[in-house]
Amino acid sequence: MPVSILPPSAPIAAQHLKREDSDEEMSDDDLPTSTSKSSIVTPGETITSDPQWMRGHGTYVPADTSTIISTVAGHLHKTNKLLSVQPLRARYNPEIGDLVVGRIVSVQTKKWTVDIAAPMLASLPLSAINLPGGILRRRTAVDELNIRTFFSEGDLLVAEVQSLHQDNTASLHTRSLKYGKLRNGLFTSLSGAGGGILSRRGGVVRSKRQTFTLNTAAGEIDVILGVNGYIFISAHSKTAQEQKDVSITRLEESVSETLYSSQNDEIQPGVLREITRVSTLIKGLVACGSRVDEDMIARVYEGAVELEAEERSLGGVERGVGAKGVVETVLARLEMGG
Partner 1 sequence: MAPAQAAHVNLSPAELSFLRSSLSQTPPIRLDNTKGPRDFRSMRAEYDVLPGANGSARIALEDGTEALVGVKAEVEKSRWRPAAGQQESMLTVATGDVMMRDDNEEEDESKGKGQNAWIEMSVEIPGFRDDDPLPVFLAAMLTESLLASGALKDRLYINRRFHWKLYVDVLLLSPPLSYPLALLSMTAHLALLTSRLPALKSEKDEDPLFDDDWDASVPLYPKTGKSTSIAQADKPPVIILAMAVGPNIIFDPCKEELAVADAVLAIACANATSSTTGARIVSIRTIDPPSHLTPPGIPNSMNSATGGTVPASSAEALTQRELLADTGVWTPPRGGMKRDLISQIVKMAVETGGVAEEVIGALQAIEVG
Closest distance between partner 1 and the C-beta of residue 266, in Å? 7
The piece of 13-21, 63-71, 159-167, 264-272 that touches partner 1 (CB under 8 A) is 264-272
Of 56 and 322, CB closest to partner 1: 322
Candidates 8, 62, 316, 338; binder of partner 1 (CB under 8 A) is 8
Q: Are residues 202 and 288 in contact, defined by beta-carbon separation less than 8 angstroms? A: yes
Candidates 48, 171, 280, 290; binder of partner 1 (CB under 8 A) is 280
* Interaction between residue 240 and partner 1 (CB under 8 A): no
CA–CA separation, 124 vs 161, rounded Å? 9
Candidates 124, 260, 288, 290; binder of partner 1 (CB under 8 A) is 260
DSSP calls for 139-191: --HHHHHTHHHH--TT-EEEEEEEEE-TTS-EEEE--STT-EE--SEEEEE--
* Interaction between residue 329 and partner 1 (CB under 8 A): no
Candidates 69, 114, 323, 330; binder of partner 1 (CB under 8 A) is 323
Q: Which residue, among 243, 261, 260, 262, has the nearest Cα to 252 in the 3D structure?
A: 243
CA–CA separation, 292 vs 333, rounded Å? 18
Residues with Cβ within 8 Å of 280's Cβ and at least 6 positions away in sequence, in order, are 323, 326
The piece of 92-100, 167-175, 317-325, 328-336 that touches partner 1 (CB under 8 A) is 317-325
Count CB neighbours of 266 within 10 A.
7
* Interaction between residue 283 and partner 1 (CB under 8 A): yes
List 145's β-bridge partners, or say none: none
Closest distance between partner 1 and the C-beta of residue 270, in Å? 10
* Interaction between residue 80 and partner 1 (CB under 8 A): no
The number of angstroms, rounded, from the C-alpha of 145 to the middle of its chain's C-alpha atoms is 33
Kindly list the residues in this chain that would bind partner 1 in the complex (CB under 8 A).
1-9, 103, 132, 146, 149-150, 152-156, 181-187, 191, 257-267, 269, 272-273, 275-277, 279-280, 283, 287, 321-326
